[in-house]
Amino acid sequence: MTYTVIIIGGGVVGALTARALSRFECPALLLEKNRDVSSGASKANSGIAHAGFDAKPGTKKALFNVRGSRMMEGVCNELGVRYRRNGSMVLAFNDGEYEHLKSLRRQGEANGAGGLSILDGDAARRLEPALSGDVKYALLAEAGGIVCPYSLAANAAEHAARNGVTIKRDAEVTDIRRENGLFYVKAGGTEYAGRLLINAAGLHAGDIARLAGDGSIRVKPRRGEYMLFDKKIGGTVSHTIFQVPSAVYGKGVLVTPTVEGTLLVGPNAQDLEYGDAQADETTVGGQADVWARALKSVPGIARSSLITSFAGLRAISDTDDFILGWSESVPGLLNAAGIQSPGLTASPAIAEHLAGLIGEAEGGLRPNPGYNPRLEERPAILELSEKDLQVLIAKDAAYGNIICRCETVSEGHIVESIRRPCGAVDIDGVKRRTRAGMGRCQGGFCMPRVLEIIARETGRAFTEITKKDDGSYILTGRR
C-alpha cells in the first residue's frame, strides 16, 4: 500500500497531526519508535497551556502559541482530555523585574494574547494567599491553562486510529530513500511507501531529516527536572505561578496545580550535547535547585508531601524557533522540528497547519465521510454518580474491582485501556491512560496486579512485560 502521508513521531504534534488528517480521505501512517505513543517530551513536561506573552512577536512560537491556546479547550473536549483555564501569574520581586513584566505584557498584546494585567503584590496575594510576601508585582494572564499532556497525545492517537489512520509502534525508522516520487521508509524491519513525509520526531528530528536527505536541522536536548506533590496540597495555588524569565532558565521554575489535583514544581534547565537524547535522569543538584526556586515563589510547600521526581527532555533547535514547513532540499518532506515550549500549547494549531499544507500539496482533500469528531468519554469512577457507577458495574463487574487505591482505578478501566485502538502495552502505558500507579504509593501496591492484567489481556508472559521500552522488565524469571 502507498500512503499519502507518513508521519514519523508519536508525540503530541505527530498524534494531533494524524488526527487532523483523519478528517479527510488521506491514507496516513504514523510511525513511533517506542512501544507507545507519548513516550518522549509529551510525557514529561509542565502541562501548561501558555497564554502567549512569552514568545517574541513575529515568530512561529508566538503565532502558533496564541492560536493553539484558543483551540485547546475545544480539542480537549472532543478528545475527553482534562483541561482547565486556571490563569497564570508571572512574579516580580523588585522594580527591575516589574519593568520586565511591562515588557511581557506589551509582547503578549502584540501577539494577540488578551486578558493581561499587572497587579501589585497585595492584589496578587488576595488571589493567591500562599505567594511569598516578597512578591511586589505580578502579571496576570487570564488565558493561561493546564492540560494533561500525555492524555492529549494518547487520546489523539487513538482518535486518529478510530478514524482510519494506521499506527505502528515499536517501529524505529532506520532508513529513508526517495525513489520515483515516493518515500520508502524502513521502520521496525518493514518498509513503507508514501508520497509525503512529516518529520515530527522530536529530539530525533535532525536524525530523521538527515536520513531523508536534509542536513539543515540541528536539535539538541535541554533537560528539565520536576517535583510532584500529593493531592492533599494540590490546592496550594490555583493559578500557574511563574517567575520572570531569564536567559538561563527560560520561563523558570513554576509552581502549578495539575488537572489531576496534584501540585507540580519545575523545571530547571540544563543544555545537553547533541545526540544525548536518553539523559532524562534527575540529579541531586537539579532537585535542590528546583526546590529552592519554587520556595522563592511559594514558601509554604510541604516537602513531606513529595510523591516523586522526574525529568523531561525538550527539543531545542539552533534557530530558537519552531521549524515548520517544507524542506528546501528534499521535495515532499515536511519538517516539524524544535517544538519546545510553548509546543504543547501550540500543538493543535501546528497540527491544523501541517494538515493544511498536505491538503495544498495534494490539490485538496475530500472529507472523510465516516469521520467521528469526538472520542467517547471515559469518566473515572470518582466522577460518576452512585447510580451511574452501579449501572457500569452491572454491565461489567470488573469496574467494581479497584486495582489502584490511590487513584481509584478499576480493573475494568485498565482492561479497557489495553483493548482500545492504540492501547496500552506496558505498565507506563496503563499509567498514562488510567492513572493507575500515579498516586501516593507510585504503584507500590497496584503494579503487580496491573502487570497480571496486561499479561492476561495480551497473552504475554509475566517476564515479557516492561515498565516502558525494551530492557525495563519488571520480572526477570521465576524461582
Give me the active site residues, please: 50
Which residues, at least 6 apart from 16, have a Cβ–Cβ distance to it below 8 Å? 75, 152, 153, 156, 347, 348, 350, 351
Are the CB atoms for 78 and 375 separated by under 8 Å?
Answer: yes
| Dist. CA 39–CA 44, nearest whole Å | 8
| 141, 51 Cβ separation under 8 angstroms | yes
Report helix, strand or coil for 91.
Answer: strand
Which among 307, 150, 295, 309 has a CA at the least distance from the CA of 236? 295
Instruction: Give the helix/strand (H/E) hosting 333.
Output: strand 333-337
Cα 68 → chain centroid: 14
Closest CA to 466 of 68, 32, 39: 39
